[in-house]
Structure 1
Amino acid sequence: MPAPLTLEGPRLRLRPWRAEDRAPLAAINADPAVMRHFPAAMSRAESDSWLDRIEAHFAEHGWGFWAVERKSAPGLIGAVGLLSIPWQADFTPAVEIGWRIAIAHQRQGYAEEAARLSLAAGFGRIGLGEIVAFTVPGNAPSWLLMAKLGMRPAGTFDHPRLPEDHPLRLHLLYRMSRQTWMSSARPERATA
Structure 2
Amino acid sequence: MIHFETERLLFRDFELKDLPEFKRMNEDSEVMRYFPKTLSHEETESFFHAIVDEWKAYGYGLFAVERKDNGEFIGFIGFHRATFEADFTPCIEIGWRLKKEAWGHGFATEGAKACLKYAETAYDFKNIYSFTAKINMPSERVMQKIGLVKIKAFSHPKLDPNSPLSEHVLYALKK
TM-score band w.r.t. shorter chain = over 0.9
Match of 1:80 in 2: 77
Question: 1:9 aligns to what?
Answer: 6
What is the rounded CA distance, in whole Å, between the counterparts of 2:8 and 2:105 in structure 1? Answer: 11
Partner residue, 2:111: 114
Shift of 1:138: 1.1
2: CA distance, partners of 1:155 / 1:10: 34
Root-mean-square deviation (CA, aligned residues, Å) is 1.2
Is the contact made by 2:74 and 2:99 (CA closer than 8 Å) also made in structure 1? yes
Give 2:88's aligned amino acid: F
> So what's the TM-score if we normalise by structure 2?
0.95
Aligned to 1:62: 59
* Structure 2: distance between partners of 1:139 and 1:152: 16
Instruction: Report the Cα distance in structure 1 between the residues aligned to 2:42 and 2:64, rounded to whole angstroms.
Output: 18
Residue pairs, 1:113-132, within 5 angstroms? 113-132=110-129
Provide the residue aligned with 1:134 in structure 2: 131
Shift of 1:167: 2.0
Contact 2:133 2:169 in 1 (8 A): yes
Deviations 1:20-57 (A, max 9, x none): 11111010001111111111111111111111111101
Letter in 1 for 2:66: E
One-letter amino acid matched to 2:83:
P
1:155 aligns to 2:152 (yes or no): yes
1:20 aligns with 2:17: yes
Mind listing any 5+ residue stretches in structure 2 that lack a counterpart?
none
Shift of 1:5: 6.5
Specify which of 34, 38, 49 is matched with residue 52 of structure 1.
Answer: 49
For structure 1, the 5+ residue unaligned runs are: 179-192
| Further displaced range: 122-131 or 50-59 | 122-131
For residue 137 of structure 1, report the CA deviation from its aligned partner: 1.4
Letter in 1 for 2:174: S
Structure 2 distance, partners of 1:7, 1:51, is 20
Identical amino acids, percent of aligned pairs: 34
CA contact (8 A) 2:2 2:10 kept: no
Q: 2-side partners of 1:93 and 1:81: how far apart?
A: 16
Inter-CA distance 87–5: structure 2 relative to 1 (3 Å threshold): farther
Secondary structure of 1:122 counterpart: helix
Residue 92 of structure 2 aligns with an amino acid whose one-letter code is V
- 8 Å contact from structure 2 (residues 80, 92) kept in 1: yes
- Number of residue pairs the alignment of both structures matches: 175
